[in-house]
Amino acid sequence: MNPLPVLAGAAAAWGLAALIALIAGASRPWTRACCVVSGLGGAAALAGGAASLISGNSRVVTAGGSVVVGTLQLQATSLAGVFVALLGLIAVATAAYVPRYHEPGRGTGLYLAVYNLALLASLAVLVAGNVVTFLVAWETMALLCYLLILRRPRRAEVAAGAFWFLALSETGFVLIIAAFVILAAKTHTMQLDGIAARAHLVSGGWRDAAYLLALTGFGFKAGLVPLHVWLPEAHPVAPADGSAFLSGLITKLGVYGIALFGFWLLPGGPAWRGILTMAAGAVTAAIGILYALGERDIKRFLAFSTIENIGIIVTAFGAAMTFWAYHQRLLWAFLLLAGLYHVINHGSYKTLLFLEAGVIEHATGTREFDRLGGLARRMPRASVITFVGTLGIAALPPFNGFVSEWLIFQGLFQGFRTGSHLIAILIVLAAATLGLTGGLAIYAFVRGYGIPFLGMPRTRQAAQASEARQPVAGPALLAVACAALAVGAPVVLAALARAMRTVTGVSLRPELLPGNLTVIPAHTKFSGFSPTWLAVFLLAITAVPVLIYLAGRPRAASVTGPVWDGGIVAFKPRMQYSAMTFSAPTRVTFDALYRPSVSLRRASDDPAGRSGPVHYETEVTPVFERYLYRPVIRAFEWLADVVRPIQSGDVNLYLFYVFAAVLVAYLIAAL
């Protein structure tokens, strides 16, 4: 079947939702209506994405047409289908979340309008069939996201965060244009599949240039280190569903762009291209999780964890390209598949976590780890849902993160198949980095879940938190998705594998899935496991002790008493690990990266040795902002000062500028 009509329906729904929100979004019932429509659109997108996965590349639909902007061309590819489906899932979950999260009002109306348009623009990016459509949609999407972040423009940090986003996004946009222009110029076509078909005409140098420009340009959006700085700035200031959208989808659009160039427009390429991509990914993953461990704000923490996951995905892509260069087409296709599966998984649980972060913020009025605690007792629903997401993102079975990361690892471990020792070592090195990342991720999310939800409340707000009238359905839906994507992994992977054949031309079906719900990393006789049966098994072994306990309870006499506290007068909330003390070991181990600064005030420094209040602060230095971006910014300010004299305000002078510009243009054309 042709997915485009379905997607058109989704687009229409979102347009309508935007209209409703714009006109009557201020009132609660209309807000609900808008969300229902938007949710329907999401469902349509989900269906469309699935359809395009099933049907493979659909034909191009051309509409309109003018000499200036070219034609509007749409095309549902199976590569984009993955992202479209994710877009749909996120849209549905968010639609269920919004009505309880946003208090009705004019601002909400506008916000929802912008949000639905942003959904529309993102869809357009994904179904864009030619360069112009893609670029226009991309820029629209960026601007709309900028407005999303500006939900509360009064506050300074909001403006700053939004500006970080816009600045980096535009910088990246320029590079993306350049990449497309190179390809379009060398292949004499603006159509994406045309470019893909004629890519062999482009000389190696230009191919590499185009790819590097694309990697960097999309890297800004995806959040590759050191192009990641906008995420921790923009995520905390946007509303919860806004940041969920940014993390869940917008960063993935960057990944889509990289995949677009690396696997479809310019497949293959020299080994170093893959190695470079892989290295960028590995570094991003490690740095991302390390900074996450240094964070005190839940949303900044989640933003850094997003950077980590993007790193994992890009590592998989880079390794895939490397394998291509060594004629390991099977692994090439397999790692692309694993990466895309991780895209879906991360999209689901990261959205979940951001939505729950919003719940926590509304229930307690803070996002600071060290002002929370003991929420599991006060907010059981939120804690269960968050726990599912946490297990997923910490890549622990039986949830989905484990499956995709396992696949990626299995792919990397087969680096030896390249036949080159150096390459094999490099790939295994990347695998080791991801190993470190995975370990730290578990550490980080033990902290990320334990500090807010376990222990005793650290502040009065946390002690009085209540989840009554807090959104549930949206996150719960995503939690179910997390479980389904794990248990049903073989099925999903099978569908993906078949769909990707249209991109890679490699059939993974028999190698990947010999049946009986087992997954094999491309090559049989290497390894393999069954996520489904693992989940069943885990449930079984957890059930056994529970059953024994339930069976034994009537007979066993038990006395419930207070916790043994060493006989102190009373426990104080201060007597439990805080977020920063919990991650102190990493701060000590990696202090070269963190460059932590410590400020300490204590009464016992008094020469008489009196004891009393202590205050201990430690701050992590934002290395990239300080040592990379600040100089650049200074340089631009300097440049601005230099060129200011040109703007004299004299009309004749400006006319002369125009004349000179035209002259130069002619000269260039003449040569």
Partner 1 sequence: MTAIQRDLAGRDPGLAGLLAALGQDGPAAGGPVITADVPAGRLEDAVRRIAARPAARLADVFASAADRGDAVILRLIWGLDADHAYLVTESVIEAERYPSLSDIAPAAFYEECEIYEQFGIRPAGTKPLNRVALPPIADCDLPRLGRAPAPPPADVHAPHVVGGHAFEFPFGPVRQVGVESLYYGLVTSGEEVVDLYLFTWHKYRGVEWRLQGRTPRDALFHVERTEGLGAVGPAWAFAAAAEAALGLAPPPQAERSRAIALELDRLYNHAAATAALCQSTGLVIGQAAAEIALERLLRLNAAAFGHRYLFGVVDIGGAAAGPDAAALRRDLPGAYGELRRAADALLSTNSFLDRLEATGILSQEAAARLGLVGPVARATGLPIDVRADHPASPYAELLPEVATADGGDVLARFRVMLAEAAESVRLIEEMLGAGAGPGRAEPSGGAGGAGSDAAASGLGWAESCRGEALAWVALDDRGRITRARLRPASVRNWRGFDDACRSQNVFTDIPIIEASFWLTVAGTAR
Partner 2 sequence: MTAGTDTSRGVKETSEALREAVARQFGRSLHIRTLDTGSCAACEQEIRLLAAPHYDLHRLGFFFTPAPRHADLLMATGPMIRAFGPAARKTYEAMPGPKLVVATGACALGGVYQPDAFTHGGIAGTLPVDVWIPGCPPSPLALLQGLLVAVGRLAEKVQDLSFTQNGTPR
Separation between Cα atoms, residue 79 and residue 84, nearest integer Å: 9
Q: Which stretch binds partner 2 (CB under 8 A): 291-299, 305-313, 364-372, 562-570?
A: 562-570
Q: Which stretch binds partner 2 (CB under 8 A): 118-126, 322-330, 461-469, 561-569?
A: 561-569
Task: Give residues with Cβ within 8 angstroms of 228, minimum separation 6.
Answer: 284, 288, 307, 624
Smallest distance, partner 1 to C-beta of residue 453, A: 17
Decide if residue 571 touches partner 2 (CB under 8 A).
Answer: no
Task: Give residues with Cβ within 8 angstroms of 645, minimum separation 6.
Answer: none
Decide if residue 564 touches partner 2 (CB under 8 A).
Answer: yes
Residue 580 interacts with which of partner 1, partner 2, none, CB < 5 to 8 Å by class: partner 1
Which token pair is 297?
């704000």
Residues in contact with partner 1, shown as a per-residue x/- string from 116 to 155 under the rule CB under 8 A: ----------------------------------------
Separation between Cα atoms, residue 6 and residue 14, nearest integer Å: 13
Residue 594 interacts with which of partner 2, partner 1, none, CB < 5 to 8 Å by class: none
CB atoms within 10 A of CB 200: 9
Q: Which residue in the block uniquely carries the two structure tokens 């790939």?
A: 427
Separation between Cα atoms, residue 385 and residue 351, nearest integer Å: 12
Alpha-carbon 610 to chain mean position: 51
Decide if residue 611 touches partner 1 (CB under 8 A).
Answer: yes
Decide if residue 637 touches partner 1 (CB under 8 A).
Answer: no
Q: Which stretch binds partner 2 (CB under 8 A): 5-13, 270-278, 296-304, 566-574?
A: 566-574
Smallest distance, partner 2 to C-beta of residue 567, A: 3
Decide if residue 559 touches partner 2 (CB under 8 A).
Answer: yes
Smallest distance, partner 1 to C-beta of residue 618, A: 5
Smallest distance, partner 2 to C-beta of residue 570, A: 10
Q: What element of type H or E holds 61? A: strand 61-66
Total residues binding partner 2 (CB under 8 A): 8
Q: Which is nearer to partner 1, 603 or 639 (CB)?
A: 603
Smallest distance, partner 2 to C-beta of residue 164, A: 52
Smallest distance, partner 2 to C-beta of residue 281, A: 47
Separation between Cα atoms, residue 655 and residue 661, nearest integer Å: 10
Residue 562 interacts with which of partner 2, partner 1, none, CB < 5 to 8 Å by class: partner 2
Separation between Cα atoms, residue 70 and residue 62, nearest integer Å: 10
Region of residue 506 (phi > 0: left; psi between -120 and 50: alpha; otherwise: beta): beta
Among 23, 63, 160, 600, binds partner 1 (CB under 8 A): 600
Separation between Cα atoms, residue 284 and residue 306, nearest integer Å: 10
Q: What are the DSSP E strand ranges found in 318-421? A: none
- Taking alpha carbons only, the member of 527, 300, 271, 240 closest to residue 409 is 527
Report whether 258 contacts 225 (CB < 8 A): no
Q: Which stretch binds partner 2 (CB under 8 A): 261-269, 313-321, 520-528, 567-575?
A: 567-575
Smallest distance, partner 2 to C-beta of residue 564, A: 4
Q: Which is nearer to partner 2, 568 or 640 (CB)?
A: 568
Separation between Cα atoms, residue 347 and residue 42, nearest integer Å: 14
Decide if residue 552 touches partner 2 (CB under 8 A).
Answer: no
Residue 525 interacts with which of partner 2, partner 1, none, CB < 5 to 8 Å by class: none
Smallest distance, partner 1 to C-beta of residue 155, A: 25
Residues in contact with partner 1, shown as a per-residue x/- string from 560 to 599 under the rule CB under 8 A: -----xxxxx-xx-xxxxx-xxxxxx-xx---------xx
Task: Give residues with Cβ within 8 angstroms of 55, minimum separation 6.
Answer: 1, 2, 3, 76, 78
- Taking alpha carbons only, the member of 289, 481, 325, 286 closest to residue 415 is 325
Residues in contact with partner 1, shown as a per-residue x/- string from 194 to 213 under the rule CB under 8 A: --------------------
Separation between Cα atoms, residue 658 and residue 650, nearest integer Å: 13
User: Which residues contact partner 1 by CB under 8 A?
Assistant: 370, 565-569, 571-572, 574-578, 580-585, 587-588, 598-600, 602-604, 606-618
User: Which residues contact partner 2 by CB under 8 A?
Assistant: 559, 561-562, 564-565, 567-569
